[in-house]
Amino acid sequence: MAMTKCPECGDDVSSTALKCPKCGFQINKPKRSFFGKIFLWMFILFNILMVVWIVGGMNAASEMSKTYVSEAEKAGAAIGTGLGVTMLLGIWVFGDIILGLFTLLTRPKG
């Protein structure tokens, strides 16, 4: 085990130590495990997917609403779009809670 000098206090510290035992200065940053990295990237990609999905759905609904003739068609499209967005927001919240907990529980300790 190699010893290095703490940049803060100059005391000898193990090269594998995360913090200096004397002053508490952080020497090495803890790293995420393999599964921690997977859950972090799943969390990030899930959020990007949900944003793209909602924006794309809203754009498609607004483009289709231009072709409707009667007020009943427009009202039905508005209700359907509202229900669809509400469903997607529910999936987003539920997915973020689950993936967020996994991401939180697999974060590096230190």
What are the tens digits of pLDDT across the range 47-90? 999 999 999 988 988 888 888 889 998 888 889 999 999 999 99
Enclosing domain of residue 10: 1-30
Tokens for 109? 């300790």
Indicate whether 94 and 45 sit together in one domain.
yes
In this structure, the answer to whether residues 50 and 78 fall within a common structural domain is yes
Our CA angle for 61, 67, 68, nearest 5°, is: 85
Identify whether residues 37 and 86 lie together within a single domain.
yes
Same domain, 24 and 38: no
Q: Looking at the structure, do residues 18 and 51 belong to the same domain, yes or no?
A: no
pLDDT at 1 (0 to 100): 64
Which residues are within 8 A (CB) of 46 and not within 5 positions of it... i.e. 6 or more apart? 95, 96, 99
* Residue 56 confidence (pLDDT): 92
Whether 14 and 60 map to the same domain: the answer is no
User: Phi, psi at residue 3, to the nearest 5°?
Assistant: -110, 140
Position 110 pLDDT exceeds 80 = no
Let me know whether 19 and 51 are in one domain. Answer: no
End-to-end CA distance of the chain: 20
Which residues have C-beta within 8 Å of that of residue 84, sequence separation ≥ 6? 57, 61
Whether residues 58 and 110 share a domain: the answer is yes
Indicate the DSSP class of residue 109: P
Total domain count, the chain: 2
Residues 53 and 84 grouped into a single domain: yes
Residues 92-96 have a mean pLDDT of: 97
Q: Assess whether 22 and 12 both reside in one domain.
A: yes
Q: Does residue 14 sit in the same domain as residue 59?
A: no
Residues 103 and 73 in one domain: yes
What average pLDDT does the segment 6-27 reach? Answer: 86
